[in-house]
Amino acid sequence: MLDQQRVREDTPGCLDKVFLDSAGSSLPPRPVVDAVVSHLRREAEVGGYRAAAERADDLAEVKASIAELLGARPEDIALVESATRAWADFFYAVPLSPGDRILITEVEYASNAIAALQRARTAGAHVEVVPSTPTGELDLEALHKMLDERVRVVSLVHAPTNGGLLNPVREVVDLAHGVGALVLLDACQSLGQVPLDVVELGVDALSATGRKWLRGPRGTGLLYLRPELARTMEPAALDLHGAQWAEESGYRLAPDASRFEFWECSVASRLGLGVAVRYLLDLGIDEIEQAVSARAEYARTELSTLSGVTVRDLGGQRSGIVSFTVDGVDPNVVRKSLADKDVTVTVSGRGSTFVDMSKRNLDGVVRASPHYFNTFEDIDRLVAAVAER
Ligand SMILES: *Cc1c(COP(=O)(O)O)cnc(C)c1O
């Protein structure tokens, strides 16, 4: 069992206010904040290089912890500044020729879709959307029919930003690999709230952010690459960390996923990310999943008892994202009136997941995303605030 009292004491921001935006930017626990702040102080005392050298072991631990969480090896992880950066680093490294096809999901995150459209335009390739089933998940049969040897990459959003569903992963990987396509998993909304094992899932790459369910600092993200790709893929952009300049007219790529990193980074944030992942591993991802899912289900049940409120989550398997609308009220007005009552939620607008929102004729949904540090009373306060709005 999670020690709720301890995790709440570690999270001062959740004590007197209701914070329900871990899908946006969660509250980092106190040890994470301490790691970041103390490293910034140390940099001011001895300079950034010496401060980093003093923490070499802890810095190596960051990838080791992430690898443990993902069931991967540390050398298959690249540390970057965001999920989008990670996603793009992989995507822009996939060679594309005229006529090649890129498949995306109906719930594709806008940044991914925009990158796909840009590359399709410059390479003469095509972006196609794999339809969803009536219950919201990616339609495996439709995918099967769409796949051929021109499909280079399938971008799969595991948990969409605008609702509570979880997409199937292993099934998509098996189908895509049948035609030699790569699968890039956007795990930005799933890593840190559901168990993920990259070997079991078989994905070629996975992108995620630090600040959402992992409760890490802002400006952190990670890319996992299948070992063979970490050794062989050439990133679109390199520096003296991703490659070595050892002869005048040539360079040698780093032997592992660090070829996808640049040398400069916020060392303080990186240390904070390491502490966040270790904190999560100590609590246990299975316990976290249970706690998140119980809170989200409770919120869905209670919100749907309110007249004029519609819970918008699709899917048979659910994440911790709870999306809803209030009849005749702009979601931003709902968000604002909840904020006035110290209940923090956010709004997911049409532009973030354009295809899905357009299909469902929604301009925006209110998004509440409880984490394990939330109490059931927090959910009651959310529901009361929505009822009063
Ligand atoms: C938030 C989000 C992203 C982008 O994450 P950043 O760290 O802001 O780049 C990507 N995909 C999904 C599904 C998201 O919700």
pLDDT in tens, 239-283: 999 999 999 999 999 999 999 999 999 999 999 999 999 999 999
Q: Is the CB of residue 157 below 6 angstroms from any atom belonging to ligand 1?
A: yes
In whole angstroms, what is the distance from residue 243 CA to residue 258 CA? 9
In whole angstroms, what is the distance from residue 50 CA to residue 388 CA? 55
Of the pLDDT bands very low, low, confident and very high (cuts 50, 70, 90), residue 155 is: very high
Nearest to 209 by CA among 373, 72, 80, 114: 80
Of the pLDDT bands very low, low, confident and very high (cuts 50, 70, 90), residue 291 is: very high
Per-residue pLDDT, 124: 98
Is the pLDDT assigned to residue 307 strictly greater than 90?
A: yes
Q: What is the pLDDT of residues 79-115, one digit of tens each?
A: 999 999 999 999 999 999 999 999 999 999 999 999 9
CB-CB contact of 201 with 156 (8 Å):
no
Fold agreement between 4-27+284-387 and 32-282: no
Its CATH class, for the domain covering 32-282, is: alpha beta
Kindly report the CATH number that applies to the domain delimited by 4-27+284-387.
3.90.1150.10
> Encoding tokens for residue 23?
């899908």
Ligand 1, residue 23: give the atom nearest the CA: 15
Can you give the residue ranges of every domain in the chain? 4-27+284-387, 32-282
Of the pLDDT bands very low, low, confident and very high (cuts 50, 70, 90), residue 3 is: very high
Per-residue pLDDT, 385: 98
CB-CB contact of 261 with 289 (8 Å):
no
**Interval between CA 209 and ligand 1 midpoint (Å):** 7
Per-residue pLDDT, 140: 98
Query: pTM score, two decimals?
Result: 0.98
Apex CA 359: angle with CA 354 and CA 363, to 5°?
55
Task: Give the start-end residues of each E strand in 143-256.
Answer: 151-157, 182-186, 205-209, 221-225, 243-247, 250-253
Q: Is the CB of residue 220 below 6 angstroms from any atom belonging to ligand 1?
A: no
CB neighbours of residue 230 within 10 Å: 24
* % of the chain with per-residue pLDDT over 90: 99
Of the pLDDT bands very low, low, confident and very high (cuts 50, 70, 90), residue 389 is: confident
Q: Which residue has the tokens 């930017």?
A: 25
Q: Ligand 1, from 21, 161, 169: best to mutate by most atoms within 8 Å of Cβ?
A: 161
**What DSSP letter does each residue of 349-366 carry, written as one string?**
EGGGGHHHHHHTT-SEEE
- Work out the average pLDDT over 291-300: 98
CA 343, chain centre distance (Å) = 23
Side-chain-side CA neighbours of residue 285 (13 Å):
20
CB-CB contact of 152 with 100 (8 Å):
yes
Ligand 1, residue 212: give the atom nearest the CA: 1
Is the pLDDT assigned to residue 161 strictly greater than 90?
A: yes
**Interval between CA 23 and ligand 1 midpoint (Å):** 9
Per-residue pLDDT, 1: 74
Q: Which protein residue has the closest C-alpha to ligand 1 atom 6?
A: 83
Side-chain-side CA neighbours of residue 23 (13 Å):
27
Coil, strand, or helix at residue 143? helix
Q: Ligand 1, from 156, 189, 319, 357: best to mutate by most atoms within 8 Å of Cβ?
A: 189
Is the pLDDT assigned to residue 220 strictly greater than 80?
A: yes
Q: Is the CB of residue 356 below 6 angstroms from any atom belonging to ligand 1?
A: no
- Work out the average pLDDT over 338-360: 98
Q: Is the CB of residue 207 below 6 angstroms from any atom belonging to ligand 1?
A: no
Per-residue pLDDT, 269: 98
Average pLDDT, the chain: 98
Per-residue pLDDT, 188: 98
Q: Is the CB of residue 82 below 6 angstroms from any atom belonging to ligand 1?
A: yes
Largest separation between any pair of C-alpha atoms in the chain: 71
Report phi then psi at 313, rounded to 5. -70, 140
Q: Is the CB of residue 188 below 6 angstroms from any atom belonging to ligand 1?
A: yes
Q: Which residues of 122-148 are buried (b: 16+ CB within 10 A; e: fewer)?
A: ebebebebbebeeebbbbbeebeebbe
Q: What is the pLDDT of residues 163-213, one digit of tens each?
A: 999 999 999 999 999 999 999 999 999 999 999 999 999 999 999 999 999
